[in-house]
């Protein structure tokens, strides 16, 4: 065996050091933690560009909605709230502020769809909501059929005279107060009147007792006079 010269020995030591350094670098790369590798800068690829917007970084079902991890009933980006607590979520509730309705229906969110008289027209559109035979008052009003309108207490109110006027009993005012009809003459005497089914009678407080009072009309609905004790009192 030949002994190495000093220069040969130095070169051999250098080569051994370089070889040891390479082995150390390789071993470090193999055992580096995944997180450390992930954090290292890397070149962008075409795939990176395509997935940049929809990157599901937290691996849930709503990657762009920080408040949800799955679509549930309303979908990503929409709340699952039920503000009026009617059991229909806001995203599906067309009346989200009205617990009695989840859709406007006929009457809108604020009003219930009720047809009290069951005539097929909801109360919100029925101008005679308690009259199943009419949906508008017409000429005669709700609860009265059209045609010759029945005489109402309001139609009787007015001033009447028996002609020729010979005394204050021939000057009469018919009044209606609180639903009560009264006959009152200029002599200061008055009594009650009753109107039932279009028939007018004096009350028992009348000095002539209970009598039928005839109603004279023009066109069937305008009162032109009253007949009392066989005398005509003309409306003035």
> Can you give the binding site for Ca ion, defined by CB under 5 A?
82, 84, 86, 88, 93, 115, 117, 119, 121, 126, 128, 131, 135
Compare residues 65 and 119 and give the one whose CB is closer to Ca ion. Answer: 119
Enter the DSSP assignment of 195. E
Cis peptide before 223 (omega within 30 of 0): no
Residue 85 contacts residue 99 (beta carbons within 8 Å): yes
Beta bridge partners of 88: none
CA geometry: angle at 28 spanning 23 and 30, to 5°? Answer: 100
Q: Compute the least distance from the CB of residue 147 to Ca ion, in Å.
A: 18
What residues contact 225, with CB distance under 8 A and at least 6 apart? 160, 216, 232, 233, 234, 235
Closest to Ca ion by CB, 58 or 118: 118
Shortest distance in whole angstroms from residue 51 CB to Ca ion: 37
Residue closer to Ca ion by CB (options 136, 229) is 136
User: Which CB sits closer to Ca ion, 126 or 181?
Assistant: 126
Residue 108 C-beta: closest distance to Ca ion, Å: 16
- Give the number of other CB atoms < 10 A from CB of residue 200: 23
Smallest distance, Ca ion to C-beta of residue 137, A: 10
């Amino acid at each position: 065996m030949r002994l190495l010269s000093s220069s040969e020995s130095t070169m051999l030591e250098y080569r051994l050091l370089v070889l040891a350094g390479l082995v150390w670098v390789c071993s470090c790369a193999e055992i580096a933690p995944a997180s450390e590798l992930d954090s290292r800068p890397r070149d962008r690829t075409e795939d990176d560009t395509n997935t940049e917007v929809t990157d599901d970084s937290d691996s849930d079902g709503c990657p762009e909605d920080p408040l949800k991890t799955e679509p549930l009933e309303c979908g990503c980006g929409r709340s699952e709230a039920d503000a009026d607590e009617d059991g229909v979520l806001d995203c599906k509730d067309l009346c989200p502020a009205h617990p009695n309705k989840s859709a406007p229906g006929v009457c809108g969110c604020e009003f219930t769809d009720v047809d009290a008289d069951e005539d097929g027209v909801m109360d919100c559109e029925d101008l005679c909501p308690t009259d199943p035979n009419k949906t508008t008052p017409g000429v005669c009003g709700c609860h009265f059929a059209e045609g010759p309108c029945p005489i109402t207490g309001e139609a009787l109110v007015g001033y009447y005279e028996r002609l020729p006027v010979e005394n204050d009993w021939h000057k009469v005012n018919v009044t209606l107060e609180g639903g009560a009809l009264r006959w009152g003459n200029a002599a200061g005497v008055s009594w009650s009147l009753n109107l039932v089914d279009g028939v007018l009678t004096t009350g028992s407080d009348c000095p002539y007792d209970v009598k039928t009072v005839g109603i004279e009309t023009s066109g069937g609905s305008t009162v032109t006079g009253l007949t009392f004790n066989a005398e005509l009192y003309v409306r003035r």
